[in-house]
Amino acid sequence: MDGSTFAIVAATFAGPIVAVLITLWYQQYSLSRQARMELFAVLMRHRRNNLATEYVSGLNMVPVHFHNKPKVLERYATLMATLSDLSWKTPERVPDLIDKANTDLAYLLSEMSKVVRTPVDQIQILKGAYSPQGWVDDADRTRNIQSRLLDVLENRSAIRVFAHLLPITPPSSGERPMPEDGSKPETPEQQPEVNPTV
């Protein structure tokens, strides 16, 4: 068998195998890109509502879908360090931590946007989201109610009860007075007859 015949035989067998391998690689690449894009979209959608279940779940999936992207993982680690800071329990530190967490999230989303080939600037991420004030007010009101109810349940606070006496009006001349037990007054037909016996 000469060299050209061997090349033809090798190409005949190798061609379909290479085609299958390329197809499988492309499918894997496509699925990975789609998962990254969906995760990026979820985090962008909920970036102003960081208590949303979708946001928290999405944030936890970043290391899974971007495991081979060191810049994304670096920004993710910075955000996680901010979110895990023990100073969140100190009320005076919360506003600064919120600002830092929002900035860290903007950097993370910006790095993710480069990977999914939809580049978005950090400033646009930080300032560009819309969240109605009504959502914020509702969330604050709900947390306030939960906090006050918890104080009552844990006996740190009491529910105030006010008693108001209702005015009692005397019956008019033709009406019978109401019995003290709350039952209806008896009409003359219902009253038992009293026979005077001696």
> For 104-129, what is the mean pLDDT?
86
Report if residue 51 sits inside a domain: yes
Rounded Cα distance, 103 and 122, in Å: 8
> For 166-192, what is the mean pLDDT?
64
The size of the chain, in residues, is 198
Name which residue leads in pLDDT, 142 or 11: 142
Give the model's pLDDT for residue 179.
61
Report if residue 27 sits inside a domain: yes
> For 89-109, what is the mean pLDDT?
91
Q: Classify each residue of 29-65 as buried b or exposed e, where b means 16 or more C-beta atoms within 10 Å of its C-beta.
A: eeeeeeebbebbebbbebbbeeeeeebeebbebbeeb
Neighbours of 103 (CB within 10 A): 16
Give the model's pLDDT for residue 27.
66
Is residue 48 very low, low, confident or very high in pLDDT (cuts 50, 70, 90)?
A: confident
Report if residue 137 sits inside a domain: yes
Which region among 77-86, 103-112, 121-130, 168-177 has the lowest average model confidence (pLDDT)?
168-177
Give the model's pLDDT for residue 82.
94
Rounded Cα distance, 142 and 31, in Å: 40
Report if residue 169 sits inside a domain: no
pLDDT digits (tens, 9 = 90+) for 12-34: 777 777 776 777 766 677 777 88
Count of structural domains, the chain: 1
User: Mean pLDDT, the chain, as a whole number?
Assistant: 81
> For 87-107, what is the mean pLDDT?
91
Which residue range is the domain that position 95 belongs to? 3-153
Contact in structure between 58 and 42 (CB atoms under 8 Å): yes
Give the model's pLDDT for residue 177.
59
Q: Is the pLDDT reported for residue 96 higher than 80?
A: yes
Report if residue 163 sits inside a domain: no
Distances (CA, A) of 75 to 16, 33, 66, 108: 42, 19, 11, 5
Report if residue 85 sits inside a domain: yes
Report if residue 185 sits inside a domain: no
H helix intervals, 46-186: 53-65, 70-83, 94-115, 122-127, 133-153
Which region among 25-39, 134-148, 180-194 has the lowest average model confidence (pLDDT)?
180-194
Report if residue 57 sits inside a domain: yes
Give the model's pLDDT for residue 64.
93
Give the model's pLDDT for residue 65.
92
